[in-house]
Structure 1
Amino acid sequence: MKSYHLSATSPDGLEVRNRPTPEPGRGQLLVRMRANALSLRELKVLEGKYPLPITPGVVAGCEGVGEVVALGPGVSRAAVGDRVAATVFPQWLDGPFSFEYAAQLGSSLDGTLTEYAVIDELGVVAIPAHLSFEEAAALPLVALTAWNAVLGGRGVLPGETVLTLGSGGVSLFALQFAKLAGARVIATSSSKQKAERLRDLGADEVIDYGQNPAWYDEVRQLTGSRGADHVIDVAGVLDQSVRATALGGEVTLVGISQGLDAAAEPLSAATVFGGGVTIRPIAVGSRAQFVAMNRAITQAGLRPVIDRVFGFGEVPEALAYYRQGAFFGKVVIRHDS
């Protein structure tokens, strides 16, 4: 079988290897991978900028789905033919995240950019029946992060206002999940074309942050000076996010890229205290949350937004396309049948 491994000597950070197809051990499944997805996380791993430990030469990729083709002894939670998604943190089954669950596919553990993967039976969940493998590949990382952001913590109530920033993968899913929960959604974008697509997905209002750098003021105007009940901050612009949040509201911190910029405004204790805001950093979600999310996706018939699909032999091209940043929705890798 063929698999992609992290390599410090390869120009794109990946090395293709041909290896024998593995056999599952006790409590394990052999999964024929059918699709993968890319995310900013993969770029950070390849660039050596990822905060969690990375094992040299590990199989890359944390987002993968496929079909169970063999069972190891003692397996009771899966059957041959099941369509499953691998969980990014296979040891995080439920409850709050802690470092003891930090072993992660595609960094410290072999990942899913491979034709076959051996995975513990508790490290997979069934994927919604109405989704193709390519669509389901969008779920394990960004969709689950968005689910945790919107419905973890204090959760969203019908009629509340959710603010999503930009049009990245987490923000698109957060928009869809917030609408499922009955919330009003305000989104931000600097692109008129993307703004229209955000409205098509259900955004009630879209703020052009390119034209209005003080976009948090516009959020307050749109909410009668109250602010958003929930802000999904994928960039780390905490000063602005807190200023956009209602008294007693919640900012879920998903990303920090812009917050690391030397030009970013620092967040003062006075701003947090004065706003009565809870700031909740998150890391993807647990297996239990993944199962709950898939139930909701199935019930609603929700479909992920897919931007472009590449072949399994085109992973370097897919990464180059992703680096350009012009996508709207997930960039997916399809395996040959």
Structure 2
Amino acid sequence: MKAYQIGAQDGLGSLTATTRPDPVPGPGEAVLKVRLIGLNHRDMLVLAGTYGAKRPTERVPLSEGVGEVVAIGAGVTTVKVGDRAIFAHFTTWLDGDFSPAAFGNDLGITHDGWLAERIAVPGAALVPVPEGVSDEQAILASAGLTAWNAVVEVGRVKAGDVVLALGTGGVSIYALKIAVANGACVAITSSSDEKLAFAKSLGADILVNYRTTPDWAAEVMKQTGGKGADIVVETGGQATLSQSIAAAAPNGRIVIIGALAGAATGGLPNYGAIIGKNLTLKGIAEGSRAMLVRLLRAVEANTIMPVIDKVFAFDDAAEAYAHLKSGNHVGKVLIKLD
């Protein structure tokens, strides 16, 4: 089968096309024929060698996709041959509270991922995709699942809440979609008025250009009548955390996901506001299989459609990476197999 490997991990040029034998399922495993793959920010970091320790050069990358079950090993009961299926990339985190042990079974990082024509997966991790959900809708298991965990599982969103999403990447756009489906008011930031206008077309209520309005937290407070955001989907990291605290409502939940805005230039001058507002700050790492099941039900019931920026052919995987790195995208960058 055709596949890609991560190579020396010194930049996007490390991605290398290769061939591998077709995987054969062992006991408890299933083999999927890959149909559609999603890229995420961490995939660029892997190729740059900056996502933790460097990995074996032959590792197959990418952690999110949809496949068709073509073979199952003994003991697999979650799916049958012919099913379409997805899985959360922490394949041993099936339910319950997170454990750091999940990092030991992270497809695309510790084990071979989706960027191949076929992939072997622990059967227990698989979630069948309902017939009424398209492949594109089912690209959920990284950005979509992270957004669901932030907004629903941790954020406990309810109708009328204000949900603040930073930027217009995959997680933020899914957070917008999930929040709107739950009747929440959505505030979103971007450096591009064009991207903000697009976010408005998706249901965002409050639009803030952080380039022309550097004190975006004050603008969020102004546009919410001094209330602030009940849930902040904090994808910026340390560099934006101080403003997220300033933008949060009393008893707000700030869910810390990534570090897209880079390193902080100082400490938290408003550290006392965490106590003064009774805020909850919680870091999350994607989500469990059980969360993915709930998300998939919500997608089906509410006909939640993804925002797809561009779809690349499998042979053009390097171009897909480069497009994601450019930062010009809104929503998902995908790779489709024939």
TM range (shorter): over 0.9
Q: Deviations over 1:110-163 (max 9, x none)?
A: 1111111111111221224334324423x1100000000100124111111111
Q: Residues of 1 paired with 2:246 and 2:79: CA distance?
A: 47
Which residue type is aligned with residue 240 of structure 1? Q
CA offsets 1:29-54 (integer angstroms, 9 cap, x no match):
11001111111110011111113773
**2:45 corresponds to 1:44:** yes
SS in 1 for 2:253: strand
Asked if 1:61 corresponds to 2:47, the answer is: no
* More moved, 291-300 vs 206-215: 206-215
CA pair 9-286 structure 1, distance change in 2 beyond 3 A: closer
Stretch deviating more after TM superposition (251-260 or 168-177): 251-260
The question of whether the paired residues in 2 share the 8 Å contact of 1:163 and 1:185 is answered with: yes
Cα deviation for residue 256 of structure 1 reads 1.6
Q: Letter of the 2:134 partner, please give it.
A: S
Name the stretch that deviates more: 1-10 or 178-187: 1-10
Conserved in 1, the CA contact under 8 Å of 2:151 and 2:178? yes
SS in 2 for 1:133: coil
AA of the residue aligned to 2:247? A
Q: 1:72-151 maps to which residues of 2 (within 5 A)?
A: 72-102=73-103, 103-137=105-139, 139-151=140-152
Q: Could you list the per-position Cα deviations for residues 273-296 of structure 1 after superposition, in whole angstroms to 9, with x for gaps in the alignment?
A: 222211111111100000000000
Shift of 1:264: 5.6
Q: 1:155 to 1:51 in 2, by over 3 A?
A: farther
Letter in 2 for 1:42: D
Structure 1 segment 1-337 matched on structure 2, within 5 A: 1-8=1-8, 12-51=13-52, 54-102=55-103, 103-137=105-139, 139-236=140-237, 237-261=240-264, 263=265, 266=268, 268-336=270-338
- Aligned residue identity for 2:127: V
Give the match's secondary structure for 1:17: strand
Preserved contact between residue 53 and residue 107 of structure 1 (Cα < 8 Å): no
Structure 2 unpaired stretches of 5+: none
Question: Equivalent residue of 2:32, what SS?
Answer: strand
Contact 1:144 1:284 in 2 (8 A): yes
Q: 1:181 to 1:9 in 2, by over 3 A?
A: closer
Contact 1:226/1:246 (CA < 8 Å) preserved in 2? yes
* Amino acid in the other structure paired with 1:310: F
Kept after mapping to 2: 8 A contact 1:234/1:253? yes
The CA deviation at 1:180 is 1.1
- TM-score, normalisation: structure 1: 0.94
Change (3 A) 1:213 1:128: farther
**Distance (whole Å) between structure 2 residues aligned to residue 52 and residue 217 of structure 1:** 39
Larger CA deviation: 127-136 vs 66-75: 127-136
1:309 deviates by 0.5
Of residues 158-167 and 141-150 in structure 1, the stretch that sits farther from structure 2 once superposed is: 158-167
Residue 208 to residue 56, structure 1, CA distance change in 2 (3 Å): same
Residue aligned with 1:256, SS: coil
- The answer as to whether partners of 2:78 and 2:126 remain within 8 angstroms in 1 is no
Instruction: State the distance in 2 between where 1:51 and 1:279 align.
Output: 23
Identity %: 40
CA distance in 2, matches of 1:250, 1:39: 24
Tell me by how many angstroms 1:212 deviates.
1.0
> Which SS does the other structure have where 2:141 is aligned?
helix
Kept in 2, the 8 Å contact 1:55–1:107? The answer is no
Query: What is the root-mean-square deviation of aligned Cα atoms in Å?
Result: 1.7
Q: Partner of 1:62: helix, strand, or coil?
A: coil
Distance in 2 (CA, whole Å) between partners of 1:85 and 1:230 is: 28
Maintained 8 Å contact 1:258/1:264: no
Q: Distance in 2 between matches of 1:317 and 1:131?
A: 27
Contact 2:88 2:287 in 1 (8 A): no
Q: Is the 8 A contact 1:230 1:250 kept in 2?
A: yes
Gaps of at least 5 residues in structure 1 are none
Closer/same/farther in 2, CA of residues 189 and 292 from structure 1, 3 Å limit:
same
Q: How many residues align?
A: 334
Structure 1's 70 and 183: CA in aligned 2 closer, same or farther, altered over 3 A? same
Do the aligned partners of residues 154 and 143 (structure 1) sit closer, same or farther apart at CA in structure 2, a change above 3 Å counting? closer
Partner-residue secondary structure (3-state), 1:258: coil
